[in-house]
Amino acid sequence: MSSVSKYFSGLFTGIKSLLFGMSVTWKELWTKKVTRQYPENRDTLVISDRWRSELTMPHDENNEHACTACGICEMNCPNGTIKVISQMIETEDGKKKKILDKYQWDLGMCTFCNLCVLTCPSDAIKFENTFENAVFNREKLKQQLNHEGSKLRDKKKEPLAPKAE
C-alpha cells in the first residue's frame, strides 16, 4: 500500500513543484525588463568614472602635458605595454635634459591594472572610460599618447587633471 501512496504523492508533489516553477516564469513575463539597450541609449548611458578602458595623457590648451619621460610607468608595467621613447636635448642654460619624444601604448595588450597611473610621479597619465575601441586593424590599437609637437608643462602651473583615484 505504501508504495502506491508513494507513487501518487510523488506524482502530485512533482506536479505542484512544476506549477510553482511555471508561476515564477509567469510573474517574470510581466515584470519590467532590465535590459540596458546599448547603442540606443548611447546618450544616456552612464559608465562609472572609475571604469578603465583607455589610457590618455591629458594635454592643456597650450598643447602641453606633464610627462617628464622618467619611465617609471614603463618600468611598472607588468607586460611591456608602455614604451616611453625619450630624447636628450640641451636647454637654453646649457644643461642636458631628457624630454618625451613618443609615448607609445598598446591598447590591445593593456590589462588595465592601473599600476602606471598609481606610480606616475607627475600625474601625467590617466585612464578614461571610453569603451568604444574596436577596430579592424591590429596596428590601430598601438597608439601614441602625446600629441604632435606637444611639450612639457612648466612645473609651477597647477597640474591639469587630478589623479584618477
Does 9 sit near another protein (CB under 8 A)? no
**Triad 51, 54, 59: Cα angle to 5°:** 110
DSSP H or E run through 88 = strand 82-90
Quickly tell me which residue has 609615448 as its cell.
103
Q: Residue 3 carries which DSSP code?
A: H
Give 33 or 156: the residue with its C-beta nearer to another protein.
Answer: 33
Query: For another protein, which stretch binds (CB under 8 A), given 17-25, 60-68, 85-93, 147-155?
Result: 17-25
Does 131 sit near another protein (CB under 8 A)? yes
Query: For another protein, which stretch binds (CB under 8 A), given 6-14, 63-71, 82-90, 147-155?
Result: 6-14
Site for another protein in 49-108 (CB under 8 A): 50-53, 76, 78-80, 106-108
CA distance 28 to 38: 22
CA distance 126 to 81: 15
Query: For another protein, which stretch binds (CB under 8 A), given 46-54, 56-64, 92-100, 146-154?
Result: 46-54
Quote the longest CA-to-CA distance of the chain: 107
User: What are the grid coordinates assigned to 40, written together?
Assistant: 540606443
Does 22 sit near another protein (CB under 8 A)? yes
Does 24 sit near another protein (CB under 8 A)? yes
CA distance 118 to 164: 9
User: What are the grid coordinates assigned to 35, written together?
Assistant: 535590459
Selected binder of another protein within 6, 21, 102, 163 (CB under 8 A): 21
Binding site for another protein (CB under 8 A): 11, 13-15, 17-18, 20-26, 28-29, 31, 33-40, 42, 45, 47-48, 50-53, 76, 78-80, 106-115, 118, 127, 129, 131-138, 140-141, 165
